[in-house]
Amino acid sequence: MVTVGQICCTIASTFPKFVCTLLLVWSYYAVIFKIDLVLVENTFSAVAILVLMTLLEALCLISYYFVVAIGPGSPSDFDELRILPSDTDETPVPPAFLQENSITVKRDGGFRFCNKCKVWKPDRCHHCASCDMCVLKMDHHCPWFADCIGFKNHKLFIQFLIYCTIYIALATAISGYSLYEIYYLETVDLDKFSLHIMFVFIVGLIMGLCVLIFTAFSIYQLLINRTTIEAYESQRYRSNQNAPYVGNIFNLGYKQNWRAVMGNSLVEWLLPIRLSSSYGSGLSFEINNLVYQKLRQETELQQRLSQEISNYRSYQKQINQSALSYA
């Protein structure tokens, strides 16, 4: 029997997809059928607008639904990461490859795991309360997709943002110029004016600015190999969970960071496809050796200081005991 909660979840999941699809389809209709085929008299310009808008519309819709269909990826997809119930009191042990490759740990220094999903959590994996699942290399939960952005769909998400930025800029420019021709130059018959043109221009200005800012932020995060969660949460490293911040251990440089997410070829960068097999599984990540060495040095320094403090306290204790014995 379908419950009220399930119905609400379905509505909450479907509504953002409906809104995004509606905005894309409506704006395409307004630009093509209210501007391009009505106001644009130059044949070359009309064809160019039709081709560009159709191409961008297709790329936006394809990448959007690919993000949703492919999903972010979860450790629950890997049998070896599942923590099976046991009748004994023995503490579960993570698989060998996780013990060897894990860089981040819990606050107490132990390996990260999720009590809700009953899985071991690889580096950069987090539990999403909205999706009620653990997500590999979780970036954030996006309400516009009603889904998480993570390891598997991060590339498609970035491409969707870029496509949308260009699409909105083009639609806003076309509608803005049409309004300029109608009201300022008065070279177009006022009878051909449609409210769709005005609405596309206003919505394009507002959403275009928001999307542009978020796209720039997301690309910047990608180039420094940092997720949105990592930007706001401190990392605890296995070698020393109390070490001060020494840099992003996953930052490999702009080029490598870009290729790690977007692929190795220009075709992969431009289109929502994958041609190479170098993306990995999302269970482990290459690290910056310089940052790792700094972390090791900080750890060794802390250990030496702790040892010196311990020796000093022991020495002081011996002196106090000697003084008491003479007294």
Which active-site residues does the annotation give? 142
Q: Is 113 helix (H, G, I), strand (E, B) or coil?
A: strand
The answer to whether the CB of 148 falls within 8 A of the CB of 142 is yes
Distance CA 252, CA 288 (A): 6
Distance CA 54, CA 59 (A): 9
Q: Residue for token digits 């990260």?
A: 112
Residues 6+ apart with CB under 8 A from 148: 71, 72, 128, 130, 131, 133, 135, 138, 139, 140, 141, 142
Cα angle: 224, vertex 226, 230; to 5 degrees = 150
The answer to whether the CB of 139 falls within 8 A of the CB of 282 is no
Instruction: Determine what percent of the chain falls in helix, strand and coil, rounding each to the nearest 5.
Output: 60, 5, 35
Tell me the sheet residues that pair with 141. Answer: 148
